[in-house]
Each structure stands twice: as C-alpha cells, then as structure tokens.
Amino acid sequence: MITKSSPIGIYDSGVGGLTVWRAVRGLLPKEDLLYLADQANVPYGVRSLEEVRGLAEGVAKYLMGQGAKLIVIACNTASAAGLRYLRELYPDFPFVGMEPAVKPAAEQTLSGKVGVLATPSTFQGELYASVVERFAHDVRLYQATCPGLVRQIEKGYLDTLKTRRILLEALEPMLREGVDTLVMGCTHFPFVIPLIKEIAGEEVRVIDPAPAVARQVKRVLEARGLLAVRKRAGKSVFLTSGDALQLEVLLPNLVGVEVEVGGLRWKKGVLMKKKVKEPLGRLLPLPWPTPALAASLGSWEEVELDGGAIYIHREKGNGELEYRFNLPLDAWETPVILLEDNLGWVKEVALAKEPFTWYGSFVLTGEEREQFKEITEILIKVDEKGFY
C-alpha cells in the first residue's frame, strides 16, 4: 500500500541519475529515496528504443514491488523510449521523466544558437522531436552525441585527458558557430559541467534539468497528498544491476555519500536480488606506487603494461621478484587472487580496492619468474556474480 512514508524510486542506466537524486534530496530532505542503477546494461544510448523500453518496464516493476510511491526516470534515453509507454501501462501510477531543456534554452539564448548534448537514442526519440517542434521555432540547434562520455563518467573520470578530448570534439564546432547556451540532454553530463565551463567559458550558459525535475516531483507528490511528513531526515538506498563495489567507490566522489550498495541481477527480463559470495584470500590495504612515483624509486625498476594492467617490479633478494599492479575497475568486474595449493610458489599475495582501481601485489621466486607472462591467466579470475 502506497502511503506518504513510501519511498521515491529514482532510476537510471548508471550514475547519471545521481544528479537528479542530488536535486531531489536537496529539495525534499524528508523523503526516503530508492536509487536503482541498471549498470548491467549501461550505456542505454547505444541501444534500440525497443530494448530500452523493455528494460525500463522491468525496472519499474521492481521499484513498484519495493513500494515506491512515484518513479523518476532519471535517464533521458529511458524517458525517450519508455515514459509514454509506462504511463499507458500503469495509468494510475505517477512517473516523472526527463525532457531535454530546449524550452528554457530557447528562452535564454541571446545568439539564437543552442547546443544540445545527448545520446543517439535521445535524439531519435519522439520526446525530443516533440520538444523541438514546440519550443525551437526561433532558434538553431546544434547536436552532439559525445561518444564515450557516458562510459568515462561511469568510471568516475570527470577530468581526464580522454574526457576533455571528447568534450572538445563536441563543443568546439558549436562554439565556432556562436552557440551561447548548452543543454545537458543526458543526466550523466552535469557531472562534467565544471569541465564544460572551462572549455566553453563562463559566458556560455549550461542548463542542467535536474532542479526542474525535482520541482516536478514535489508538485506531483503535493497534488496526490503523498509528501512525506516525518521528523527524521529521509534515508537513501542504492541498488545496481552491475558491480556494487564499484558503485560504492564512486558514490563518495560523485555525491559525497558513503553507503553499502545492494546488488541486483536480471533473470529472464526480471530484476531480483543478487546473491553475494564471500571472497577467498586475504584483502589487505596496499600502498600503490604509481608509474610516476615508481620511476622516482630506485628499487622499482620497470613499468610494464599487460592486458590493461600496470605492473612494476623490484628485486627483493634471495632470487625473489616482487610485482605490484593496478587494474582499472572495468578490466574485470571483480578481480580475485586465487590462493590454491598448487600455486605455492606465489608468496605474499594481497589485493585491495581504492577509487576506480584494484591494486595488488605478489612475489615470485626466481625459478618461476619466467611464468610472469601467464600470471594474469593463472592468478586473476573473475566471476560474473562477483567473488567466488
């Protein structure tokens, strides 16, 4: 039964909807929020509208099953593909979706030239076409899909060289044409607004739709008499169909929240809780010398690249060689060092997690050093369900 105390469901393909979560949390501090990231299927922007519609329906069913009193589709692509469909499927249930902020951009531009950054699926959707038809009569629109930007933000890479390059390729042609207003047509993109402003200049307006969406959530709840009335502050629960550990690492950096993330999995089009298996081996904090630091340390002799990992090594004496490595979180879902009896020649194994990266170390005896070329196959394994 839906009551004033029921949670608000907020849904995105990944971390982008956290920009909306942040706005809703700020405007409605007493509401309980249930955030669901469908990271098993991110990015949505490269998928067909039909496929995204099916995913949106599965997520909506899960959130409604958890007692949500309203669902925010905090994803432009999912809104374009599924908002109208879900409202027809559940006519008595309130959905709030994302609409590209073309209207305020058209009202605010002085040059009459507006840039829109969004995914291909958003640009292909009826919702975007409708917004353009209604509000863009007197302005010229410049569109860019920013290939790869969603994946960069999913990793937490908000100001790297690659992220900057993606934005430069999207923004420079627009800016040369005189665009003075930019629309964030994907909920991921507000996370890189500081970088966008650095590239475009402070005189270019950047419109983030999240605050307007939060205000609409409040209006809908007020109209239905469902605003929470409680003394305590609202709680937030975070769920993902992807790697829960990775999302836990990202949350403090993106929205300043440290919380355990729940795992979900898809099975025949249905979302359900993921069974978590306990890790094998010992997980130890590991100070990691970066390649730059390693170069300044005389004992660490070389930096090697192998399968997306960075390795450095040093002689320990007695014929032993110590390796340290780091692995981007997207290299494997969860790397696990296997400690098995037949790997007795491996000593001092350690594995630890830091923001965006797994770190590890191992020591090889001299006679086994030639087996390094096989080390990733022997030692580092992954299971799609997490630790095993």
275-294: b (≥16 Cβ within 10 Å) or e: eeeeeeeeeeebebbeeeeb
List, in order, residues 6 or more apart from 366 with CB less than 8 Å away. Answer: 318, 319, 320, 321
- Segments of 146-210 assigned E as strands: 181-184, 205-207
What is the Cα–Cα distance from 135 to 104, expressed in whole angstroms? 9
The per-residue DSSP string of 26-91 comes to HH-TTS-EEEEE-TTS--GGGS-HHHHHHHHHHHHHHHHHTT-SEEEE--HHHHHHHHHHHHHHST
Beta bridge partners of 238: 35
Specify whether 75 is catalytic. yes
Dihedral (CA of 379, 383, 386, 388) sign: negative
CB count, 10 Å around CB of 120? 15
E strand or H helix that includes residue 202: none
Catalytic one of 75, 132, 174, 239: 75
What is the Cα–Cα distance from 257 to 350, expressed in whole angstroms? 27
Specify whether 146 is catalytic. no
Catalytic one of 63, 106, 186, 309: 186
Which residues does the annotation mark as catalytic?
Answer: 75, 186
